[in-house]
Amino acid sequence: MIHQDHLTYQRKLVQSFKQSQKKFYAYVRTKQSVKMKVYRILKSDGSRTTSDKETADILGEQFQSVFSHEMETDL
């Protein structure tokens, strides 16, 4: 019964997409895996980052600074 209800819901959803692209894109946005926006962060000079790439670079540098690289040895 639940499976049948779900199929009915999906069919109605698809029909509504044909009538309104806005509903389709709203549905797609709910299914996206990334839901959080990356906000600007403070740089060491006190200014804020201006792009997602710059933010990612600074976060990557921070991440690297807190982890040490272990030497690989032959076992």
Residue 31's pLDDT band, with cuts at 50, 70 and 90, is confident
User: For residue 72, is pLDDT > 70?
Assistant: no
User: For residue 70, is pLDDT > 80?
Assistant: no
pLDDT tens, 11-27? 888 888 888 888 888 88
Strand partners, 42: 48
Greatest Cα-to-Cα distance within the chain, rounded to the nearest angstrom: 64
Full-model pTM = 0.43
User: For residue 32, is pLDDT > 90?
Assistant: no
